[in-house]
Amino acid sequence: MSGKNGDLPILPGATLGVLGGGQLGRMFAHAAQRMGYFTAVLDPDTDSPAGRVSHHHIHTDYDDVDGLARLAGLADAVTTEFENVPAPSLEHLAVARPVSPAAPAIAIAQDRIAEKAHFTRCGVPCAPYAVIETAAQLAAIDDNLLPGILKTARLGYDGKGQQRVKTRDELVDAWQAAGCVPCVLEKMLPLEFECSVILARGRDGQIVHFPPQRNLHRDGILAVTEVHAQNMPKTVAQGAINSAKSIANGLGYVGVLCVEFFALADGSLVVNEMAPRPHNSGHYTMEACDVSQFELQVRTLAGLPLAAPRQHSPAIMLNLLGDLWFPGGADNKADKPVAPRWSEVLALPGAHLHLYGKIEPRRGRKMGHLTLTGATLEAVRATASQAALLLGLPAVATADLA
């Protein structure tokens, strides 16, 4: 293994660190440990999913200087599992250790205004939008941007910080309800479907990527991902890949990056947002590909060669929220969680259950995911429909994604 002097590659036997103890950090830790690395997690939650499976768990805030020093003392290189860690903390760690993705990329992903400016610099089209930071900018909004979606510039994810507005009066009310913080107003466009591309870029600029994923969101949260050769037109898939590469190259990015797109009714693509980390829509890669997104995260962090991933099975991923533990929905006044029908689900062929080690199920909380794989797309769709029925999820596959 290499020493703690920044030399690459960092070989198995070394320790890899991660800021953030959620499920993405947990799956990163599992991938790193499988490859022979030790892992260290910094997260303030003593029961964090990643911290509970890691060799070291530092219980401090992300900007705690002593905690960061302890992480730098343990880890040979450091990554992050979500984009809302303080960018200055990554800058602080980068003085002593290789850090990927780097602080500037994280800072751009934390700010929709900066993010859209970066997309534009890279020649990747966005939906028509306007920045609203002042009352004067609000008053000057072009009526052609309505109806639209008002999004806070910072700390918005999974539909949070977003409001649909149809009229100028609704826009004013929404901005005031958001606290008059900096926002972006995006014009609503006629969507055909949503998709994403997950790629990995090394320090030498090499890029490998997974097949584009076709996604379905409910209430702003990813619900279903379907990945196979027929999930979208080839021209759309190639356009998404090319755009994602341009965005990564424009950042000088190192690490795993997900870029989400809207496919429009006229066959064109507009970029929605990027996530500088592994992504829910890539969870299927653990079973359906020969290299997972988490292994690529390990490889980019450690400076190891990047193997182009190959998908060997069609796959559908179902996101599992805490609502499944409350089968009565809003009518369940007792509010007592009931375990879903795991035994019946796991009796289905090609069913792969991942639960994230979160002790308390809550409505809207991401508790796990279920990936269905099989020899044919028809078989996977049939199994996914059975799984959805057993779990009390809305119907999936052909109705939603075909």
194 is in an annotated binding site: yes
187 is in an annotated binding site: yes
Distance between CA 353 and CA 357 in Å, rounded? Answer: 12
Neighbours of 111 (CB within 10 A): 17
Parse the chain into domains and list their residue ranges. 15-99, 128-187, 191-401
Distance between CA 56 and CA 38 in Å, rounded? Answer: 8
Strand locations in 283-395 (E):
315-321, 351-355, 366-373
217 is in an annotated binding site: yes
Model confidence pLDDT, tens digit, residues 202-257? 999 999 999 999 999 998 899 999 999 999 999 999 999 999 999 999 999 999 99
112 is in an annotated binding site: yes
157 is in an annotated binding site: yes
Q: How confident is the model at residue 401 (pLDDT cuts 50, 70, 90)?
A: very low
Question: Picking from 123-132, 205-214, 262-271, 326-335, which range would have the lowest pLDDT averaged per residue?
Answer: 326-335
Which amino acid, 233?
Answer: P
pLDDT value, residue 211: 98
pLDDT value, residue 335: 74
Is pLDDT at 387 greater than 90 in this prediction?
yes
Of 3.40.50.20, 3.40.50.300, 3.30.420.40, 3.30.470.20, the CATH number of 15-99 is: 3.40.50.20
Mean pLDDT over 290-297 rounds to 98
Dihedral sign for Cα 131, 135, 136, 142, please: positive
Could you please state the CATH topology (level 3) that the domain comprising 128-187 is classified under. Dna Ligase; domain 1 (3.30.1490)
188 is in an annotated binding site: yes
156 is in an annotated binding site: yes
pLDDT value, residue 331: 58
Model confidence pLDDT, tens digit, residues 125-175? 999 999 999 999 999 999 999 999 999 999 766 557 899 999 999 999 999
189 is in an annotated binding site: yes
3-state class (DSSP) for residue 39: strand
331 is in an annotated binding site: no
| Class level of CATH domain 191-401 | alpha beta
Is pLDDT at 402 greater than 70 in this prediction?
no
3-state class (DSSP) for residue 346: helix
Which amino acid, 163?
Answer: Q
Question: Picking from 55-64, 271-280, 321-330, which range would have the lowest pLDDT averaged per residue?
Answer: 321-330
Distance between CA 254 and CA 77 in Å, rounded? Answer: 13
Structure tokens belonging to residue 58 = 């530092």
